[in-house]
């Protein structure tokens, strides 16, 4: 009897904690979504209503209609995609080749290279802002989306290369060696044999790279000035600089920035988690 | 050449060219900028050109009260964030490690904060903790009859709010890392402890924690680094205010560099930040090595 009671008490406590922490995790996001659907008079009303009484997409519509680029979410989304997709492709090529080298090479410098990558991963973006700003100002790429594609590689490549190295380590080298015995070149055997086996790792890296480019704020802030070249995070941050803060617009823009991430997260959760723990998994 | 010889020749070693693009990016976009920054920290811009000024920038930096203030704020913020985020993550991991219905669903929900972009998190919480119109104060008022809390306009509260927001975002990372370690603990250990009559607490201290040591040290290092270098959350949540109460070192560097355009001073501050980061990393690596041997 006592044991059964104990078992149930434990279950109840666990559920209590699970519900409490889940509520803490999801409530702020639900609140953002709820506010994004409220018309202005309801957003600033006190007491606030939990759910929008007259749900409307006005806030979203306003975001797409702002003229001149500043605040226009459609242009920002386009800019973000223009940065994120090439950044993702460059990162994939580099990390596949680099990770493959680190996994298969017998060079005696390999240990040093791994140490170098580990250290380079931990360099914070804020430290890079000044030299990169001066540099890109010098070559005239400031306020240019191409600069962002290049700069993002500084964060993406070390993490993804280390991640792909671990992934290639788990793929037996006998497979590509037998392809090479059959007369395949090494690069061709990598493309034909090893890479298809590494597809889950590549998906993780692609998600990681895309999301990073989608949400990066600091480096974009120092490189981009023109309102028409803002990426999505810059557009969101730009709301705060306005004289009167349009909270309905901010909440709608926040939901806008959140949607692709939530979709990817819900459908590709396994790869998503692997990608986000990339680099942190192994020293 | 026989086939065997060809095979040996081909598998001798992989060409370093494979690694060439990656190393190029790391050298030019990370190693070289840090070196350049180090050089810049000994220079000042005079009439459009950079001239060598010796240790002047460092002296200015060390005499700047705001720098020491920002260092203090950063340390408080980091200590607060890692204690809260780490214990939060540990509790989440222990809960999700239990068997209950809907575990996968709840794990997904618990991971959402970590997946959300920093910009969204910062601005969302800025609205939630709005002093007059925010839902946080409304809930406190209507359920607990507490007077409005100045979440973002009081110096102490702003720090607390920033720590909570940062921990909300970071905690799931600790959860997923520690959960991985928890799930690889052999069940036999607990059964053996049961036979020896160990209670839940001593099982936790003597089996669970030691088995997660690797994951725990990684989580702590990452959370220290993220908090110490965190810019976006604070910049968009409090903008370093009120009265510089949340002006952490990265915001200090940003303000010196990009509002005052004093690149020499900002570089000197960045070099200090890199040194502090290296210090943490050094201890982490030593710890890993020590455990490995």
Establish if A34 touches chain B: CB-CB under 8 angstroms. Answer: no
Residue B212 is classified by DSSP as T
Residue B287 phi/psi, 5-degree rounding, is: -65, -45
Tell whether the model's pLDDT for residue A109 goes beyond 70. Answer: yes
Cβ separation of B116 and A258 shorter than 8 Å? yes
> Shortest Cα distance from A213 to chain B (angstroms)?
11
Residue B214 · residue B228 · CB < 8 Å: no
Cα Rg of chain A (Å, integer): 24
Query: Can you tell me the mean pLDDT for B100-104?
Result: 85
| Structure confidence at residue A94 as a pLDDT band (50, 70, 90) | very high
Decide if B162 contacts B240 (C-beta within 8 A).
no
Tell me how far the alpha carbon of residue B186 is from its chain's centroid. Answer: 30
State the pLDDT at residue A282.
38
The 3-state DSSP class for residue B134 equals: coil
- Confidence band of B4 (pLDDT split at 50, 70, 90): low
Of residues A127, A131, A135, nearest to B273 (C-beta): A127
Residue-level pLDDT at A128? 93
What pTM was estimated for this model as a whole? 0.90
Q: Across the interface, do B258 and A153 touch by the CB < 8 Å criterion?
A: no
B50 and A CB contact within 8 Å: no
Measured CA to CA, the distance from residue A208 to residue A214 in angstroms comes to 10
Q: What confidence tens digit (pLDDT) does each residue in A9-29 have?
A: 888 888 999 999 999 999 999
Percent of chain A with pLDDT over 90: 40
Full set of structural domains in chain B with CATH: 75-239 (1.10.3720.10)
- Banded model confidence at residue B116, pLDDT cuts 50, 70, 90: very high
Q: CA-to-CA distance for B174 and A139, rounded, in angstroms? A: 41
Question: In which band, very low, low, confident or very high, does the pLDDT at A283 lie, cut at 50, 70 and 90?
Answer: very low
Residue with tokens 């996001």: A29
A70: pLDDT confidence band, cut at 50, 70 and 90?
low
Q: Which residues of B touch A94 (CB under 8 A)?
A: 21-22, 25
Contact B25 A11 (CB under 8 A): no
C-alpha B159 chain-centroid distance: 16
CB–CB contacts below 8 A, A to B: 261
Does B40 sit within 8 Å of A130, measured CB to CB? Answer: yes
* A67 pLDDT more than 70: no
Mean pLDDT of chain A: 87
The per-residue pLDDT for B280 is 87
The CA distance from A228 to A238, in Å, is: 12
Closest Cα in chain B, distance from residue A157 (Å) = 7
The token duo for A83 is 């940065």
**Residue B128 pLDDT level (bands cut at 50, 70, 90):** very high
Q: Identify whether the C-beta of residue B219 lies closer than 8 Å to the C-beta of residue B86.
A: yes
Question: Tens of pLDDT along B15-41?
Answer: 888 889 999 999 999 999 999 999 999
Task: Count CB atoms within 10 A of the CB of residue B77.
Answer: 22
Best mutation site among B10, B36, B117, B259 for testing chain A: the one with the most A CBs within 10 Å?
A: B117
pLDDT reported for residue B220 = 92
The two structure tokens encoding residue A101: 């080298």
CB contact under 8 A, B3 and A181: yes
Phi/psi-derived region of residue B54, left when phi > 0, alpha when psi is between -120 and 50, beta in every other case: left
Read off the pLDDT band of B174 (50, 70, 90). very high
Yes or no, beta carbons of A254 and B16 under 8 Å apart: no
Give the whole-angstrom CA distance, residue A150 versus residue A127: 16
Percentage, residues of chain B above pLDDT 90: 51
- The pLDDT of residue A223: 93
CA distances from B31 to A87, A127, B150, B272 (A): 20, 11, 43, 16
Chain B residues in contact with A128 by the CB 8 A cut-off are 29-30, 33-34
Taking a contact as any Cβ pair under 8 Å apart, which residues of chain A between 182 and 241 contact chain B? 186, 211, 214-215, 217-218, 222, 233, 236-237, 239-240
Checking B136-143 for CB contacts under 8 A at 24+ apart, the result is: B138/A46, B138/A47, B138/A48, B142/A47
Hey, what are B218's tokens? Answer: 């990684």
pLDDT of residue A5: 82
Are the Cβ atoms of B267 and A130 closer than 8 angstroms? yes
What percent helix, strand, coil does chain B show, rounded to 5?
Answer: 75, 5, 25
Residue B116 per-residue DSSP state: S
Q: Tokens 């617009």 identify what position? A: A249
Q: Nearest CA of chain B to the CA of A149: how many Å?
A: 12
Q: Which of B19, B26, B231 sits opposite A120 (nearest CB)?
A: B26
B15 or A261, greater pLDDT: A261
Under an 8 A CB cutoff, do A131 and B40 touch?
yes
3-state secondary structure chain A: CHHHHHHHHHHHHHHHHHHHHHHHHHHHHHHHHHHHCCCHHHHCCCCCCCCCCCCCCHHHHHHHHCCCCCCCHHHHHHHHHHHHHHHHHHHHHHHHHHHHHHHHCCCCCHHHHHHHHHHHHCCCHHHHHHHHHHHHHHCCCCCCHHHHHHHHHHHHHHHHHHHHHHHHHCCCHHHHHHHHHCCCCHHHHHHHHHHHHCHHHHHHHHHHHHHHHHHCCHHHHHHCCCHHHCCHHHHHHHHHHCCCCCHHHHHHHHHHHHHHHHHHHHHCHHHHHHHHCCCCCCC
- Distance CA(B36)–CA(B34), nearest Å, equals 5
| A257 in B contact zone (CB under 8 Å) | yes
- Cβ of A135 within 8 Å of Cβ of B10? The answer is no
Q: Is B266 helix (H, G, I), strand (E, B) or coil?
A: helix
**What does the pLDDT read at residue B73?**
95
- Tens of pLDDT, residue by residue over A181-240, are 888 888 888 888 888 888 989 999 999 899 889 999 999 999 999 888 899 999 898 888
Q: Which residue of A has its CA nearest to B113?
A: A25
Tell me whether residues B26 and A47 touch, CB distance under 8 A. no
What pLDDT score does B285 carry? 83
What is the token pair recorded at B281? 């990393």
Q: What is the pLDDT of residue B7?
A: 52
Nearest-angstrom CA–CA distance, A28 and B127: 10
Query: HSE-up of A188 (CA within 13 Å, CB side)?
Result: 9
Which residues on chain B are in Cβ contact (under 8 Å) with A151?
29
CB–CB of A236 and B120 under 8 A?
yes
- In this prediction, residue B15 carries a pLDDT of 81
Structure tokens at A256: 């806008």
Confidence band of A170 (pLDDT split at 50, 70, 90):
confident
Mean of the per-residue pLDDT values of chain B? 88
Q: Which domains does chain A have, with CATH numbers?
A: 2-60 (no CATH), 65-276 (1.10.3720.10)
Contact between residue A68 and residue A60 where contact means Cβ atoms under 8 Å apart: no
Whole-angstrom CA distances from A125 to A79, A122, A264, B228 are: 21, 9, 25, 12
Is the pLDDT at B8 greater than 80? The verdict is no
Q: How far apart are CA A278 and CA A266, in angstroms?
A: 19
* A244 interaction partners in chain B (CB closer than 8 Å): none
Note whether A189 and A176 are within 8 A (CB): yes
Q: Identify which of A145, A160, A156 has the alpha carbon closest to the alpha carbon of residue A102.
A: A160
ipTM score of the complex? Answer: 0.89
Tens-place pLDDT, residues B44-85? 887 778 888 888 899 999 999 999 999 999 999 999 999 999
């Amino acid at each position: 009897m006592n044991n059964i009671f104990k078992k149930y008490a434990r279950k109840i406590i666990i559920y209590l904690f699970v519900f409490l922490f889940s509520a803490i995790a999801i409530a702020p996001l639900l609140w953002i979504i709820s506010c994004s659907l409220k018309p202005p008079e309801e957003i600033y009303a006190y007491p606030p209503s939990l759910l929008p009484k007259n749900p409307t997409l006005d806030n979203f519509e306003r975001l797409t209609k702002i003229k001149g680029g500043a605040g226009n979410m459609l242009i920002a989304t386009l800019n973000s995609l223009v940065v994120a997709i090439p950044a993702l492709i460059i990162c994939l090529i580099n990390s596949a080749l680099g990770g493959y080298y680190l996994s298969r090479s017998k060079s005696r410098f390999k240990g040093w290279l791994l140490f170098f990558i580990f250290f380079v991963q931990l360099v914070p973006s804020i430290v890079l802002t000044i030299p990169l700003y001066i540099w890109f100002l010098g070559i005239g790429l400031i306020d240019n989306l191409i600069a962002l594609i290049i700069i993002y590689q500084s964060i993406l490549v070390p993490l993804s290369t280390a991640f792909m190295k671990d992934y290639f380590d788990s793929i037996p080298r006998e497979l590509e060696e037998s392809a090479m015995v059959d007369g395949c070149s090494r690069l061709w055997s990598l493309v034909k044999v090893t890479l298809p086996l590494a597809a889950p790792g590549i998906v993780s890296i692609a998600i990681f790279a895309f999301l990073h480019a989608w949400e990066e704020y600091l480096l974009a802030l120092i490189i981009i000035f023109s309102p028409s070249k803002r990426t999505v995070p810059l557009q969101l941050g730009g709301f705060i600089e306005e004289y009167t803060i349009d909270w309905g617009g901010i909440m709608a823009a926040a939901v806008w920035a959140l949607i692709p991430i939530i979709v990817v997260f819900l459908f590709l959760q396994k790869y998503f988690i692997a990608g986000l723990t990339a680099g942190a998994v192994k020293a | 050449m026989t086939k065997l010889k060809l095979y040996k020749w081909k598998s001798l070693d992989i060409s370093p060219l494979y690694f060439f693009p990656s190393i190029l990016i790391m050298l030019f976009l990370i190693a070289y900028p840090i070196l350049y920054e180090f050089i810049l920290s000994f220079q000042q811009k005079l009439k459009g050109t950079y001239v060598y000024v010796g240790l002047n920038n460092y002296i200015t930096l060390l005499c700047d009260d705001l720098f020491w203030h920002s260092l203090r704020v950063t340390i408080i913020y980091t200590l607060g964030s890692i204690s809260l985020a780490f214990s939060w993550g540990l509790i989440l991991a222990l809960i999700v490690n239990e068997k209950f219905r809907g575990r996968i669903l709840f794990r997904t929900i618990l991971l959402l904060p970590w997946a959300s972009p920093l910009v969204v998190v910062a601005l969302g919480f800025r609205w939630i903790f709005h002093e007059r119109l925010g839902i946080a104060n409304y809930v406190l008022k209507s359920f607990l009859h507490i007077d409005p809390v100045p979440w973002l306009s009081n110096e102490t509260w702003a720090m607390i709010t920033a720590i909570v927001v940062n921990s909300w975002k970071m905690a799931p990372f600790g959860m997923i890392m520690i959960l991985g370690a928890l799930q690889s603990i052999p069940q036999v250990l607990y059964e053996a402890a049961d036979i020896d009559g160990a209670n839940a607490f001593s099982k936790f201290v003597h089996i669970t924690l030691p088995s997660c040591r690797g994951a725990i040290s990684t989580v702590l290092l990452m959370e220290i680094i993220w908090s110490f270098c965190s810019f976006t959350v604070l910049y968009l949540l409090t903008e370093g205010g009120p009265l510089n109460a949340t002006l952490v070192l990265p915001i200090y560097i940003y303000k010196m560099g990009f509002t005052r355009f004093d690149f020499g001073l900002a570089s000197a501050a960045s070099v200090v930040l890199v040194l502090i980061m290296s210090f943490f990393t050094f201890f982490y690596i030593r710890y890993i090595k020590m455990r490995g041997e």
